Structure formats: structure tokens, C-alpha cells
Amino acid sequence: MATERWEPAAFKARVDEVLHRFVADEADLLAAVDPALGPVADQAEAAVAVGKRLRAAFCYWGWRAARQPDSEALLRAAASMELVHAAAVVHDDLIDDSPLRHGRPTAHMALGAAVGHHPRAPEAARSLAMLVGDLLMSLAGQLFATSGLPTAYLGRARPLWAALARELIAGECLEILHTGAVPDTAASLKVIRYKTAKYTVEQPLLIGGVLAGAGGRLREGFSAYGLPLGEAFQLRDDLLGLFGDPRHTGKANADDVRGHRPTALLAETWRVAGDGERARLRALLGRPDLDEDGLEAVREVMRRLGTPDRVEDMITARVEEALGALHELDVPAPAASALTGLAHSAAVRLS
């Protein structure tokens, strides 16, 4: 059914139906190879069980902004963006050794039970999770290629898929390379841009637009809107990761501090901290045994230095930049309305 007015719940339901059916069928084919693969197949399904479906929405509205009508084939192509995200999440949780996602055990934790007999069970579970992520990325390409869109349309988007994968991997690598290093805001913002911003907003928008035959001006506008908004999305994640309620975020809020990850929140704190505050942070960051008192001590340093408010200002500035770019574009009213709503939902949220 065509969507002239942005109805997020209805759109999410359509994407969920595509994803759940497609991945369930693929999981069945995997498990049919050997019953021992059942837990692996289950984790592939679990990876797409829930989600906001923002990436699919940006792809869909990139298509609609280029004046193409609602299309079930395009919806399938847009849903493939969520499989890219699912793959990235499985790999990210593995890299970060995160125990929880959406309030449930992450893939490498859940797969521990399947390899209890293995002489190196934790490493084996991590290896299985890595392969689940690889499978999901492969399935993303398969769903896109079999979406039902004309071959010529799909061919136009192929270079963007290559860029999406290259930039996502670059961002993940940069995060690993900067983890534990002296915090630096410029380095953290580059990690944000490549690890999250591009594949969350800019690339899905561009892929939707290019599938629809968008011209150069519209594509430039998509980037001008998508990059700052994607950065705002991850800056919000940084704040939620430490100051959010785990009941809403579904993640352990000590992960970034225990991992000494290069978040902009930490980098901005470090930038304005004095010698005593830096010494306090050094004593707390990267400690795997950090308890709630230690976590609260990090929060207190950040509050005293006003870092959460500065990051909020960074989010606000980026959302305003994105909306300013959107208002310069000549796009149909439903697309303008949807992209405005998506900007607010991406940057103002509890999870």
C-alpha cells in the first residue's frame, strides 16, 4: 500500500515482515545442512528480530524523494540495509565484547552453549558469531539483488554498495586503532562519521536515490542532510551508552568506559580536563572490573566539566544543519515531512 504520509509503525511492520520471512527461510536452509547448525541459524534470526528500521526508512525515502512511487520491490531493497546493520552489530558486539544488545545476550555470548564441549569454548563461540555476521552481510547483498527491481536500477547502485562496505570497515578499524589511545575529538568524530553516520543515513539515502535515478543536485543534498544527521545519531548513542537507562537502551552502560573506546563524549571531556581530572580518568578507563561506583565517578567528572551539555549542543547543531540542507531541496511534501520526522527520531530518543 502506498505511503503518502509518514507512518513509522506501519513502515516498520512492512520491513519486519520482509526481513523475518527472508532470514527465516535462509536460516532453515542453513540448518538443513546439519542439525548442529541450529544455534547458528537461530542467531541469524535473532539479529534481525528487533530494530527501529531507520536505515530502511532512509533508503525508502531517498527513492520517494526522487519522485518514485511506493514499491514492494524497493521495500525489499531498502530492507537489505537492515541486514547490513545486523551484520555490523554482530561484528561490533564481538569486537567490543559486549554482553547485551536489546536486553538480550549478544551472539557470541548466546552461542557459548553450543560449544560447551569445545576445548576453547569462548574462542569458538566468538568464531561462530563472526561467521553469523559474515552470513548476514552476504544475505544483505542477496536480498538487494533479488529485490525485484530492474537490473539496470540495481547496477546504478553497485558502486555505492562498495563504498558502504569500505567505509563501514574503515570506521570499525579506526575505532580499534584509537581505542585506549589519548582521547582526541577530531579522531573520535572521524570514527563516528565512518563507522556509523555514513551507513546509517547518508548511504541508504543515496542508494534509494540512485536506484530512483536521482540527479547530482539531489544526491549532494542527501549527503548534506545525511552526514550531520548520522553524526548526531551516534553522538546520541555515546550519551545513551553512559548516561542512558539500560532498561531502555538494552545495553550495559559500562561498555564504553571499560573498553576505553574513542567516543566523542570521552574526547570532549579529556580536552577540557585538568591534570587532576585526567589522572582520575586514567585510573578508571579501560578497567574490566570497573564497578558502578567507578562508572559514577567517570560520569561525575563529565558532569562537572559540562561535557554532556556540550555533546547535546553538538547534536542540536548537526540536526539543524541536516534540516537546513533538507529545506534547500526540491522534494515532494511527503518525503520532506518524512525526512524531517526521521531527523528528530534519530537524534532524540531513549534507545
Q: Is the pLDDT of residue 1 over 50?
A: no
| Domains contained in the chain, number | 1
Does a structural domain hold residue 110? yes
Q: Is residue 1 part of a domain?
A: no
- Each residue's pLDDT tens digit, 224-273: 999 999 999 999 999 998 998 877 776 667 788 988 999 999 999 999 99
CATH of the domain at 274: 1.10.600.10
In angstroms, rounded to a whole number, what is the distance separating the alpha carbons of residues 320 and 10?
Answer: 27
Is 163 among the domain residues? yes
Q: Does residue 2 lie in a domain region?
A: no
Assess if residue 3 is contained within a domain: no
- pLDDT tens profile 281-300: 999 999 988 899 999 999 99
Does a structural domain hold residue 102?
yes
Average pLDDT over residues 86-96: 94
- E strand or H helix at 100: strand 100-101
pLDDT of residue 252: 66
Give a yes or no: residue 332 inside a domain: yes
Q: Tell me whether residue 218 is in a domain.
A: yes
Q: Write out the residue range of the structural domain in which residue 182 sits.
A: 8-347
| Confidence grade of residue 101 (pLDDT, cut at 50, 70, 90) | confident
All cell numbers assigned to 266: 570521552
Residue the block writes with cell 551539555: 309
| 287, amino acid identity | R
Report how far residue 9's alpha carbon sits from residue 57's, in angstroms, rounded to the nearest whole number: 11
Cα-flanking dihedrals φ and ψ of residue 318, to 5°? Answer: -70, -40
pLDDT at 3: 47
Please report which confidence band the pLDDT of residue 2 belongs to, taking 50, 70 and 90 as the band edges.
very low
Do the Cβ atoms of 346 and 233 come closer than 8 Å?
Answer: yes
